[in-house]
Amino acid sequence: MRSRTTVELFQYWKDVRGNRDLPRRDEIQPGDIRSLLPNVFILQTEPAGGIYFRLAGTNICSLFGNELRHRQFSSLWRGDQQEDIGRIARQAIESCTPIVLAASGATAAGDWLDLEILMTPLASRDGKGDRVLGALSPLSGPMWLHMMPLQHLMLEQVQENSEVPEMLTRAGNTVIRLDTHRSPIRRAQHLPVFEGGRRN
């Protein structure tokens, strides 16, 4: 994890969860993460199988130049990655496992921005996983940031996390660089790896 927002939101999610598989969505208190809210989003599943933004912080909407509420999460991504992105988001919910994505965002002018995306699963009041509490954080601050909207995102890395950030390497978690020359989905140890990588 490279972003302070990612680290702090992940730790908050762990604190609220306690010894359970998932925290409930009604246990998340915006006041507890007030400083993170501009970069925080919530995704919700829909009966048809899609996953859409229930809300998105002001910084996230500014990055894309419009309001993201009710928009499909996968629609932010390059067309050939949208199906895999939907699968990754569903995996976070179904496996009760936080997932960190390394991504790049492209503007119409060809500028690039490195981002980190955290997805942590949430449960409804009946205990069924149906939402994602997440953060989308730029890893740099170029002069054009928030003036030139991103056209799409591109997936670079996928990492599953179950321990606090400082314990990741000791716990045996692995960051995997995606290989664009192999099949869209493969397995490395216990982690699913999805095709990605920047294409010029």
Instruction: State pLDDT tens for residues 135-194.
Output: 999 999 888 887 899 999 999 999 876 443 433 322 333 333 333 223 333 333 334 444
Phi, then psi, of 94 in degrees rounded to 5: -70, -30
Structure tokens given for 41:
């989003």
Q: Is the pTM of this model over 0.85?
A: no
- CA nearest neighbour of 56 among 65, 43, 45, 46: 43
Q: Is 200 exposed, middle or buried (0-12, 13-18, 19+ CB in 10 A)?
A: exposed
- What single letter denotes the amino acid at residue 141? G
d(CA 152, CA 79): 9
Model pLDDT for residues 23-44, shown as the tens digit of each residue: 999 999 999 999 999 999 999 9
d(CA 59, CA 92): 23
Superfamily of domain 4-160: PAS domain (3.30.450.20)
